[in-house]
Amino acid sequence: MSNTAPPARIRYHLLKTMEYSQKEAVASSTMTATCDNFTNAFALHLQATSLQMGFLTAFPQLLGSFMQLVSVWLGTYLTRRRIVLFTAILQTGLMFCLAVLALMRDADVVQTLIMLVVLYHASSHLIQPQWRAWMGSIVPQKQRGIFFASRSRLTMAATLAVFVGGGSVLSISDHFDLAAAGFFFLFMLAAGGRATSCYFLWKMHDPEPQPLIAEANIFFATLGQMKLAMHDNTFRNYSLFVAGMQGMVAISGPFFAVYMLNELDFTYLEYSFNLVASIATQFFMLRYWGKISDKRGNRLIMLVCSAAMPVIPILWLFSANFYFLLAVQVFSGLAWSGFNLTTANYLYDIRPHHTNFATYAAVQAGISAVLVFCGAIFGGYLASAAPWLASWLPFEIGSALFIVFIMSGVLRLWVLLWFIPRAEEPQVRTRPQLLQIIFRIARYNSISGVVLDWMTVTEKDLPNS
C-alpha cells in the first residue's frame, strides 16, 4: 500500500505547494517592496545624516552576503523548511519593530534603524539558498521557466501596487504633518504581508524534510573553492569588474533619495514614481535583452550597457525637472537590466568546466558586497564633506551632492576602462539559452534596482535536424 498511495498524495502536496508559493510571493512582496525601497526615505524622515545614509547601505550588504554561507552551514543541522519559516517569522517581527520606530523620537533612533535593516538583509540572505533548494525540489525542471516567470509577474504587480499605494499614503500623511503615522501604517502593512506569507510557507510541503547531513563540511569546502576560483584570471577580472562597478555605484546610490526628498522637495508619491520608472523598465526589458544577447553575445551587450553606467549620475546634474528625471530613470533601468542579465549569463560562460555555478556566483556576490561596503562608506564621508568642498569651487553648482554624483560617474568610467582590455570572449561551449538559465527577481535596491537570483540551469534542448 505504501508503494501506491504515497506518490499520488505527494503529487497533490507538491501541486498545492506550488499554488501556495505563488500566493506567498504576493504576500511577501509587501515586505520587500516596503523595506527595500522606502528605507532611505524613512531614514531621512528620522533625520539621518549623510554618513548614516552611507552606513545604511554599507553594513546590510556586507553582512547579507556572508549570511548565505552561514545558511549553507546551518542547513546541515536544520531542515530548510524550518530555516525559511523561522527566518520569515523573524522578519515579521522586524517589520513590526520598524513600525514602532516610526513613532519614536529618541536620539539614537537612526542607529536602531540601521541595526534593524542589517538584521533584515541578513535574514533575507539566510533564506535565499534554502528557499532556492526547496523550490528546486518542488517545481519540475521543464516547468521552472514558466513557473518563475509567473511568480515574477505576481511579485512585480504587488510591488508596483505597494510603490504607488505607499507613496500615496506617505504623501497624504506628510501633507497633514503625519508622516510618522504614514510610515507606521506602511511597515505594519509589511508586517502583515510577511505574517501572511509565513502562513503559506507553513502550509507548503518539503519533499526532502531532512538536513543535508552528508554535506556537513560544505561550508569549509565552499571557502576552499572560493580560493581556487580566484586563481582563474578571467573569472578574477570579471568579478573585480562587476564588484567594482557596483561599489562605485554605491558611492552615490543612497544619495539620490536625499537629493529628491530634501533638496528637490519631491513628494513621497513623486519619489515612488521615480523608483518605479527604473524598476519597471528593468523588469519589462529583461526578456528583450535576453533575446539580443542570444544573437549578439553576452560580452558585447555587457560592455554596451556598462558604457551607460558612468553617464547615469551625470544626467542628474542637468535638470531638476520631475519628468526629466523620470526619463533618466527609464534610461537607467534600460542599462541596468541588460547589465544584470548579461553579467549573470557571462559568469556561467566563463566558469571552468565541471564546477559548481553556485560557488562562483557566491564568490562574485561576496566580492561585490565588500566593494559595495567600501563604496557606500566612502560616499557617506564624501557627502558629509561635499558642502565644504563645494565652497572651494570657483563656480556655483546646483547641489553639493553633485560632487558625489560626479565622483561616482568618474570612478564608474575608470572601472569600465580598466575592464575593456581584459574582457575576454568566452570560449565556445555548450550553454543553455536564456529561458533555460532560470532567474527570479529576488529583491530591489537603491544601487542596481532589480537583483536577480539564479534558480537553476536546465539542459539545452537540441534543435530538430
CATH number, domain of 415, equals 1.20.1250.20
CA distance 194 to 365: 26
Tell me the residue range of the domain where 340 lies: 5-457
Per-chain mean pLDDT for the chain: 82
Dig out the grid coordinates for 45 from the structure. 524622515
Tally of domains within the chain: 1
Render pLDDT for 181-234 as a digit per residue (tens, 0 to 9). 999 999 999 999 999 999 999 998 887 766 655 454 555 666 666 666 677 788
Q: What is the H or E stretch that residue 456 is in? A: strand 449-457
| In-domain check, residue 372 | yes
- Residues in the chain, total: 465
Render pLDDT for 299-320 as a digit per residue (tens, 0 to 9). 888 899 999 999 999 999 999 9
For residue 205, the model assigns a pLDDT of: 82
- CA end-to-end span of the chain: 45
Higher pLDDT, 210 or 169: 169
| In-domain check, residue 283 | yes
| In-domain check, residue 463 | no
Render pLDDT for 361-415 as a digit per residue (tens, 0 to 9). 667 778 888 899 999 999 999 999 999 999 998 888 889 999 999 999 999 999 9
For residue 444, the model assigns a pLDDT of: 56
| In-domain check, residue 346 | yes
Asked if residues 447 and 249 have their Cβ atoms less than 8 Å apart, the reply is yes
CA distance 165 to 186: 9
pLDDT over 70 for what percent of the chain? 81
| In-domain check, residue 50 | yes
Asked if residues 62 and 385 have their Cβ atoms less than 8 Å apart, the reply is no
Dig out the grid coordinates for 376 from the structure. 557606500
Beta-bridge partner residues of 450: 444
Q: Does 6 score more than 60 pLDDT?
A: no
Burial class (CB in 10 A: 0-12, 13-18, 19+), 465: exposed
Asked if residues 426 and 346 have their Cβ atoms less than 8 Å apart, the reply is yes
| In-domain check, residue 429 | yes
| In-domain check, residue 465 | no
Burial class (CB in 10 A: 0-12, 13-18, 19+), 263: middle
For residue 233, the model assigns a pLDDT of: 81
| In-domain check, residue 462 | no
